[in-house]
Structure formats: C-alpha cells, structure tokens
Amino acid sequence: MAPRNQIAQIKNLPLTLVFLVLLTVAFVFPTQAYALGQTAAVPSLPDFVASVVDGNANALRGIYVPGVMAFPIIQQPMGNPGYVSSTESTVTQFSIASEVGNIGLLAHNYLAGAGFFQLTPGTIITLVYGNGQTQSFMIVDVQRYQALSPLSPYSNFRDVETETVFTAEQLFNHVYRGDFHLTLQTCIEQDGNLSWGRLFVIATPVAVKSLDQLSSLHQNLFPN
C-alpha cells in the first residue's frame, strides 16, 4: 500500500496529472504483484455479456476482444482518481476521462494490462454495459511513450516512434481529449524499470446494430 502522505499528494495533484502518477505509485509501493499464469479460454461474446450484466444501464461492466480478453470493468471509488484495481483480470474505468467526455480504461501491466500489448490497429474492442448493451470500437493507433523522469508526476514523455516530447498535460490532452473515443492505458516495463513508460491504445466508435452482427464481425476478423 502507498503511504498516506503519498496518497494525499496524488489527490492534491491537478487532475490532468493524476493519470500519469497513478500507475507509478502502485509500482513503487506495490500491494502484491501477480505473475500471469495460464489464461483461461476467452468465452463467446454472448456468454461473456451474460456473465457481467447487473441491470445498470449507465455502468460499464466488461471489455471483450475475441481470443485476447474478456475482463470485468469496475469504477474508481468516488474521489480517488488514482485508484487502479490490483485484482487479476480486472480493468478500472478512469473517472477523469469520463469528465472530459471519453472512456478511459486502466490496468497494471502485470495483470490485465498485459493483454493491452496484444492489441493492434484494426482490432475490434467491445464494451459491455450493465444492462447487456454493447458499444464497439476499432483500434486506430497504439502509442508508446518513455517517461523521462519515471518517478515524478511532472515527468515529460517522449513518443517512442516520433521522439516528440510532451509535457504531462499535453500528453493527457493528446490521448484523452478530443472526439469521442476509447483509450486503454498501462505501464511499459523496460530494463527492470516497471514504470519506464506508458502504453496507450486508442480506438474510435464502430456502428454495430445487434449482438449477432457484432459476433459475426468478430468471427470475420478472428476466424478459427
């Protein structure tokens, strides 16, 4: 667990900086690190939807990518935008992304976030709401950034591909603001540094009219 003064520092940060420090703190003061073992087979989309519905039409309850992941989604506790679940195979919805009109999902790279590294442009991501309704997105970009000062919440970040350097606020605006979209975030480990960088998977909405149509789309993209 992070010390109380460390948690207080997180809560006092500007909201646009919280997203950069929230995973760093968990790695500096880990509660428990779980090794990813043999993963269970990913269920069909209808079976997964049935497993996460709870009747709440306003709450995201699951994220699904055929052959890759079928994870429940939880929400951050009220007033704690730095919270990320330490439960294996669970993704956390980022409340600050919701405040700017988009969907952000967080996970540790040693837990559910490991699956984020398997995602590539063109992949369809399906989100499931508590009433069983689904919302689909297609991945349009996968972005990697190096934290130039990994343990500082005020670190600048270098785009690994373009070498463009962003301030924390510029990076937040780049990956979380703009037209409606989905952003997945986790940390990048390199050279033994668990918070060396950040991975962002960006996906935009896809129009799908029914669960059957969505299942068919998944089958066409991921044939057996």
Q: What is the pLDDT of residue 82?
A: 84
**Under a CB-based contact definition with an 8 Å cutoff, are residues 186 and 106 in contact?**
yes
Query: Which amino acid, 83?
Result: Y
**Under a CB-based contact definition with an 8 Å cutoff, are residues 220 and 206 in contact?**
no
In a domain, 204, yes or no: yes
Q: What is the pLDDT of residue 6?
A: 41
Number of domains in the chain: 1
Going residue by residue through the chain, which has 224 residues, state the pLDDT in tens, using 9 for 90 and above: 333 444 444 455 565 556 555 545 544 444 443 334 445 689 999 999 999 999 999 999 999 999 999 999 999 999 888 889 999 999 999 999 999 999 999 999 999 999 999 999 999 999 999 999 999 999 999 999 999 988 777 889 999 999 999 998 899 999 999 999 999 999 999 988 888 999 999 999 998 755 555 665 655 555 55
> How many other C-beta atoms lie within 10 A of the C-beta of residue 185?
24
Q: What is the pLDDT of residue 33?
A: 39
In a domain, 36, yes or no: no
In a domain, 131, yes or no: yes
| Domain boundaries, position 65 | 4-31+41-221
- In what helix (H) or strand (E) does residue 38 lie, and over which residues does it extend? none
Long-range pairs, 165-168, Cβ under 8 A, ≥24: 168/16, 168/17, 168/20
What pTM did the predictor assign?
0.82
* CATH number, domain with residue 8: 2.40.260.10
Q: What is the pLDDT of residue 39?
A: 52
Q: What is the pLDDT of residue 79?
A: 84
Long-range pairs, 151-157, Cβ under 8 A, ≥24: 151/24, 151/28, 151/195, 153/9, 153/10, 153/13, 153/17, 153/20, 153/21, 153/24, 154/17, 155/20, 157/20, 157/197, 157/198
Q: Phi/psi class of residue 153: alpha, beta or left (left: φ > 0; alpha: ψ in -120 to 50)? A: alpha
Over the Cα atoms of the chain, what is R_g? Answer: 17
